[in-house]
Structure 1
């Protein structure tokens, strides 16, 4: 059941990866007067400084830290760790080798959660974990597994068995589950995310916008830029704004926790 906080019981969000598409939409959504769990105090975390285009009014405080560095994470987060009630994990490090992905992403998440959990007192209650459909497809970008992957066929369902390949999504799920029952969690396996971002390499809207601008400048027709496979097959996308609403709902609603959405 959804619970609205009183003015003395403020929910405090830590958005790790706040300057990305998903993080930006979360920061926007948490400021809306109709958002569940209100009122929210919002801390935003990113490795690089806050970009000029990011409205500072969306967050109460920005923290720049390297989550791969345990000492830096503890030093930067410890002063506010006792306040944080909800973590929205939308940060990611991606390399071709999946074992490297497992090591780096698990280290980042563990450093953050360990810092928050060690606070006195610790207020953290829930973690929303953003992963994706490679949960069902395997590490498709790892060249060592090219041509060897056997994946689930769509439609994908959240209770499908894990695939027998290394996958940093699995590692992150296991990590947040290890904190049960003191910290609940929800897992959000979105597909391609589209949203507002001026620099994300994953933002296909930005890519298509640049491509269309070039076509217009050159006087060329706007032809489909993808492969024959993507033309012939089903492809779904997730709006970052809708994804933000789903994550917030799961964070504060009974029945949305310990779930995969």
Structure 2
């Protein structure tokens, strides 16, 4: 029988962005009896109150705060600041301009870290940053840079240098590095994340679920809205559970400190294969890609908010607005790539993390989870 940890030895996590896809999976993972560093005490932070689908048993305390507000952040975190040993930074604010993203996200992280470090003595020892493949592509959602970006050659590797474009990822990485050597860090670069939440920005699976559900409800064909290249070529994804496992592993493994790791499921898929899976789980007819460049699903879905309201009401779902849970514009960019969106997992494996998932099975599982949470019918 394991000895109970003394209060000074107990690992205490602060998940900033706990109600997002990865935050939810992190809270679940940290409470598992087999998790490295167990038992963990877990504080969860989000701007809004916990939604009804989030089990309160996954966290020891929930803190609602606006990380952009320095005073609010300091006031809310001061009572627990001396306990926190690990920060899991999942939160992000996204706008069209990358310069604005840099300003907002840097301010948020600085406010949280200042609140934790200003309460002496601080026990903070490690910060994990959730990032993504924008590291290798540049700010693809900034309209001012449309057509000007040159991406790295896939498969993306962690040793590729920074691209010469503004990127809030770089600003946050430089900020956490400034706390060395007293506080270590790890950077985790995901691909397209699949998980379950009604509060994640750029939630591709939930966007596709809304699209499929509305098509079925209206009797419309569930057409692939991307280009022929992505329909036929390889892409990868990141299961939120694998991301959570890698972040926890890096936070307690000495050899993984102060490193950046890609984190994908370790396999690849073509969108035509994934489309068949989506057709099965949503019970819609499979329509082969027809190469119709005139089909614009972003425009098609603009007036479907009231249809989603009807579906939510009829099915007794957790109340959401379509514009708050679907990211048609962002996913449309991804579905029109002209290169294979694939990251190498070699470094992660070489350092000792062997987590993986079968992407097509993950999609089925997470759709089931979204249904169980009453976010989709």
CA displacement, residues 47-94 of structure 1 (integer Å, 9 cap, x when unaligned): 111111111000000001111111111000000000000000000001
Question: C-alpha displacement at 1:218, in angstroms?
Answer: 3.4
Residues 21, 240 of structure 1: 8 Å contact kept: yes
Question: C-alpha displacement at 1:17, in angstroms?
Answer: 0.3
Q: Would the alpha carbon gap of residues 93 and 47 (structure 1) be closer, same or farther in structure 2, given more than 3 Å must change?
A: same
Residues 138, 149 of structure 1: 8 Å contact kept: yes
> Secondary structure, in 3 states, of the residue corresponding to 2:190?
coil
Residues 68, 108 of structure 2: 8 Å contact kept: yes
- 1:260 corresponds in structure 2 to 260
Question: C-alpha displacement at 1:212, in angstroms?
Answer: 2.2
Question: C-alpha displacement at 1:6, in angstroms?
Answer: 5.3
Question: C-alpha displacement at 1:235, in angstroms?
Answer: 1.9
- 2:99 corresponds in structure 1 to 99
User: How many angstroms apart in 2 are the aligned matches of 1:70 and 1:227?
Assistant: 44
Question: C-alpha displacement at 1:230, in angstroms?
Answer: 2.8
User: How many angstroms apart in 2 are the aligned matches of 1:84 and 1:105?
Assistant: 21
Q: What is the count of residue pairs matched by the alignment?
A: 258
> Secondary structure, in 3 states, of the residue corresponding to 2:51?
coil
What pairs with 1:1-261 in structure 2 (closer than 5 Å)?
Answer: 7-8=5-6, 9-261=9-261
Q: Would the alpha carbon gap of residues 199 and 177 (structure 1) be closer, same or farther in structure 2, given more than 3 Å must change?
A: closer
> Secondary structure, in 3 states, of the residue corresponding to 1:131?
strand
Question: C-alpha displacement at 1:121, in angstroms?
Answer: 0.9
User: How many angstroms apart in 2 are the aligned matches of 1:45 and 1:206?
Assistant: 22
So what's the TM-score if we normalise by structure 2? 0.66
Question: C-alpha displacement at 1:201, in angstroms?
Answer: 4.0
Question: C-alpha displacement at 1:198, in angstroms?
Answer: 2.5
Question: C-alpha displacement at 1:222, in angstroms?
Answer: 3.2
Query: Which blocks of at least 5 consecutive residues in structure 2 are unaligned?
Result: 262-377
So what's the TM-score if we normalise by structure 1? 0.95
> Secondary structure, in 3 states, of the residue corresponding to 2:37?
coil
User: How many angstroms apart in 2 are the aligned matches of 1:181 and 1:165?
Assistant: 28
User: How many angstroms apart in 2 are the aligned matches of 1:19 and 1:198?
Assistant: 8
CA displacement, residues 185-235 of structure 1 (integer Å, 9 cap, x when unaligned): 000010110101124342222122222223333344433233334324432
User: How many angstroms apart in 1 are the aligned matches of 2:42 and 2:3?
Assistant: 15
User: How many angstroms apart in 2 are the aligned matches of 1:201 and 1:227?
Assistant: 23
User: How many angstroms apart in 2 are the aligned matches of 1:168 and 1:5?
Assistant: 43
Residues 18, 24 of structure 2: 8 Å contact kept: yes
User: How many angstroms apart in 1 are the aligned matches of 2:145 and 2:3?
Assistant: 48
Residues 5, 37 of structure 1: 8 Å contact kept: no
- Detail structure 1 runs of 4+ shifted over 6 Å in the superposition: none
CA displacement, residues 78-133 of structure 1 (integer Å, 9 cap, x when unaligned): 00000000000000001111110000000000111111111111000000000110
- 2:266 corresponds in structure 1 to none
User: How many angstroms apart in 2 are the aligned matches of 1:5 and 1:153?
Assistant: 50
User: How many angstroms apart in 2 are the aligned matches of 1:151 and 1:162?
Assistant: 11
Query: Which blocks of at least 5 consecutive residues in structure 1 are unaligned?
Result: none
Higher RCO (CA-CA < 8 Å; seq separation 6+): 1
> Secondary structure, in 3 states, of the residue corresponding to 1:189?
strand
User: How many angstroms apart in 2 are the aligned matches of 1:134 and 1:95?
Assistant: 14
